């Protein structure tokens, strides 16, 4: 019998059945011949703190946390990574040998890495960046763009007060605009990022015309179902380089897998195929 330890990890959310994370992590467990499993952990909000405290007793190396637990889960952490503190949310928990819970947020890392995977010489400070949306994905993406040195971020959200709150929190690099200014706020940008849910499977398309967008601007969408949103399709048709949301999802998983399973995994064409097969 192999002496290799069986390692357990999972994703805690409510609902959580739709999560692609088990496909990603179980693919890597098999690829690297490890003993372990990554499971769905459906946990109602009222049971979150008890469930997190039970991770150590159940033998978990850690877990991801997703909607609606990303903020509340912070309360159970014994230590928070500075980026998670800055973001005000966690998506990864690592159980320490002494049982302490350490909280991380890899969403911003995943986003930046996905852009670099698509464009290795990408830099955040080559011009203004327009970001649509001011929810959880926007927080992670805007902060990571600031940390990468972005010089001007034009933040536009349907509910303007939320964009204003983020701008106040993140400082003068972030300027907020009215939702009805979204078309013209594309003028002269080096990058456009959609972090709203518009264009996601089951949602209406994002109502945005790209006439003012330079054709050199990189267009990225946090959405990964479908892989090519109507926004990315329109951008591609007019010659803009595009990046979909799958790379963000895959890249945020890499450091978590390394922390739990001890191997920094690669994103291979086979993994992309396995994920695409679930859509
Ligand atoms: P969220 O916190 O609920 O934020 C939703 C955003 O969409 C808000 O800014 C909201 O504006 C906007 N929105 C909703 N309906 C709208 C409409 N009809 N018109 C214009 N804007 C509208 O959600 P989230 O967690 O940020 O997720 C947003 C998207 O990112 C989702 O599609 C999600 O799948 C994707 N995502 C991808 C990854 C990845 O790894 N690739 C990670 C996280 C999220 P209001 O403030 O006005 O409501």
Q: What is the pLDDT of residue 43?
A: 98
Note whether 17 and 95 are same-domain residues: yes
Domain residues for 84?
Answer: 7-106+250-276
Do the beta carbons of residue 64 and residue 256 sit within 8 Å?
yes
Ligand 1 center to residue 139 CA distance, Å? 11
Q: Is 157 in the pocket of ligand 1 (CB under 6 A)?
A: yes
Note whether 272 and 209 are same-domain residues: no
Note whether 50 and 98 are same-domain residues: yes
Which atom number of ligand 1 is nearest to the Cα of residue 67? 25
Q: What is the pLDDT of residue 2?
A: 55
Note whether 88 and 171 are same-domain residues: no
Ligand 1 center to residue 68 CA distance, Å? 13
Is residue 112 domain-resident? Answer: no
Note whether 210 and 171 are same-domain residues: yes
Residue 138 belongs to domain with CATH number = 3.40.50.720
Q: Which residues contact 139 (CB under 8 A, 6 or more apart)?
A: 87, 88, 89, 166
CB-neighbour burial class of residue 14 (10 A; exposed 0-12, middle 13-18, buried 19+): middle
Q: Is 231 in the pocket of ligand 1 (CB under 6 A)?
A: no
Q: Is 159 in the pocket of ligand 1 (CB under 6 A)?
A: yes
Is residue 100 domain-resident? Answer: yes
Q: What is the pLDDT of residue 170?
A: 95
Q: Is 197 in the pocket of ligand 1 (CB under 6 A)?
A: yes
Q: Is 248 in the pocket of ligand 1 (CB under 6 A)?
A: yes
Note whether 188 and 220 are same-domain residues: yes
Ligand 1 center to residue 133 CA distance, Å? 6
**Alpha-carbon distance 233 to 227, whole Å?**
10
Task: Look up 273 and say whether it is catalytic.
Answer: no
Residue 92 belongs to domain with CATH number = 3.40.50.10860
Nearest residue to 11 via CA among 29, 30, 37: 37
Residues of the chain with pLDDT under 70: 1-3
Note whether 128 and 206 are same-domain residues: yes
Mutational test site, ligand 1, from 20, 91, 158, max ligand atoms within 8 Å of CB:
158
Is residue 2 domain-resident? Answer: no
How many domains does one find in the chain? 2
Note whether 127 and 232 are same-domain residues: yes
Q: Is 55 in the pocket of ligand 1 (CB under 6 A)?
A: no
Do the beta carbons of residue 117 and residue 260 sit within 8 Å?
no
Is residue 28 domain-resident? Answer: yes
DSSP 6-62: PEEEEEEESS-TT-SHHHHHHHHHHHTT--EEEEEEE--GGGHHHHHHTTTTTTEEE
Ligand 1 center to residue 158 CA distance, Å? 11
Do the beta carbons of residue 206 and residue 132 sit within 8 Å?
yes
Note whether 23 and 81 are same-domain residues: yes
Mutational test site, ligand 1, from 182, 195, 251, max ligand atoms within 8 Å of CB:
195
Catalytic annotation, pick one of 70, 85, 123, 162: 70
The pTM assigned to this predicted structure is 0.94
Q: Is 156 in the pocket of ligand 1 (CB under 6 A)?
A: no
Q: What is the pLDDT of residue 159?
A: 97
């Amino acid at each position: 019998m192999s002496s290799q330890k069986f390692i357990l990890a999972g994703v805690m959310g409510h609902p959580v059945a739709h999560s692609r994370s088990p496909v990603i992590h179980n693919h890597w467990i098999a690829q690297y011949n490890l003993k372990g499993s990554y499971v769905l952990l459906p946990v109602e909000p009222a049971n979150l703190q008890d469930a997190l405290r039970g991770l150590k007793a159940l033998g978990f190396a850690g877990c991801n946390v997703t909607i609606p637990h990303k903020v509340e889960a912070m309360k159970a952490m014994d230590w928070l990574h500075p980026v998670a503190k800055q973001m005000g949310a966690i998506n990864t928990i690592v159980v320490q040998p002494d049982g302490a819970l350490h909280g991380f947020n890899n969403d911003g890392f995943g986003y930046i890495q996905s852009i670099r995977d698509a464009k290795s010489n990408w830099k955040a400070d080559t011009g203004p960046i327009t970001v649509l949306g001011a929810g959880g994905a926007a927080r992670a993406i805007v902060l990571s763009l600031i940390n990468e040195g972005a010089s001007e971020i034009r933040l536009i959200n349907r509910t303007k007060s939320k964009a204003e709150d983020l701008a106040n929190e993140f400082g003068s690099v972030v300027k907020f605009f009215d939702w009805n200014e979204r078309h013209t706020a594309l003028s002269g940008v080096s990058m456009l990022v959609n972090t709203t849910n518009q264009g996601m499977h089951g949602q209406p398309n994002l109502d945005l015309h790209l006439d003012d967008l330079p054709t050199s601007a990189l267009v990225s969408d946090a959405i990964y179902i479908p892989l090519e949103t109507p926004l990315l399709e329109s951008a591609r048709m007019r010659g803009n380089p595009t990046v979909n949301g799958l790379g963000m999802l895959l890249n945020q998983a890499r450091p978590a897998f390394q922390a739990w399973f001890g191997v920094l995994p690669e994103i291979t064409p086979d993994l992309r195929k396995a994920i695409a097969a679930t859509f």
